[in-house]
Amino acid sequence: MDSHGQYEQRVVWAVVGTGIGPLLLAATREGLVNVVFHATDEVRDGALERLASRLGAEPVEEPGSPLLAEVIRQVEAYFAGERRDFELPLDWSLISGFNREVLRELASGVPFGSVVGYGDLARRVGQPGAAQAVGTAMGANPLPVVVPCHRVVESGGGIGGFGGGLETKRHLLALEGVLPEPLF
């Protein structure tokens, strides 16, 4: 606690190796707050600077933290094909408004092994003409994989874009049985 009896913001992080490369996982007392793809040193350092700026606390590397233990366990189980759903507390403080509404609908309404179109997701949140805005929300997702923006595709059958790269999106969709595994 600080001198005013308030809990200071605490942000812990770890990098976990996965089938799509290293993921940076960051958590607060509220829950998982950020997942970052391709967490090389440079990417990781930039992500940690943004987190410190946005959350007002310096992130601390603490892979053994109780705040991360269940997150790491579930992420590893997902990539091992042993988990289909994440049951984790999420800290939504990095996103707000329409983007948060869309991402919450995605997290609760698009299960493992299924996909949804950008326009369909816009309709689900009561904004039928907002397919492009849904794309923007996917790009702003601070919790990819756990909040499964990889499950959002183009209505005409195209894979759509993806902040983690199209190969990463293909790999995640293959892991969930939506696409065949790449041959090489």
Catalytic site includes residue 149 = yes
Tens-place pLDDT, residues 92-101: 999 999 999 9
In which band, very low, low, confident or very high, does the pLDDT at 90 lie, cut at 50, 70 and 90? very high
Query: What is the Cα 73 distance to its own chain's centre?
Result: 15
Q: Are 90 and 147 in contact (CB under 8 A)?
A: yes
Look over the chain and give the mean of its residue pLDDT values, rounded to a whole number: 93
Mean pLDDT (whole number) for 32-45: 97
Alpha carbons within 13 A on the beta-carbon side of 77: 13
Tokens 């299924």, residue? 114
What's the pLDDT score for residue 179? 87
Q: Is residue 1 pLDDT above 50, yes or no?
A: no
Q: What is the pLDDT of residue 158?
A: 87
Which is catalytic among the residues 14, 134, 149, 173? 149
Give the span between the Cα atoms of 69 and 148, in whole angstroms: 20
pLDDT, tens only, 151-161: 999 988 889 88
Question: What's the confidence (pLDDT) of residue 157?
Answer: 80
Examine the pLDDT at 5 and tell me if it is beyond 50. no
Q: Count Cβ atoms within 10 A of the Cβ of residue 9 and give its class: 0-12 exposed, 13-18 middle, 19 or more buried.
A: middle
Both tokens of 41, joined, read 């040193």
> What's residue 9's pLDDT?
82
pLDDT (0 to 100) of residue 4: 46
Stretch 12-24: mean pLDDT, rounded?
97
pTM of the model: 0.92
Average the pLDDT over 11-24 and give the result. Answer: 97
Amino acid of residue 57: A
For 40, the token pair is 């090389």
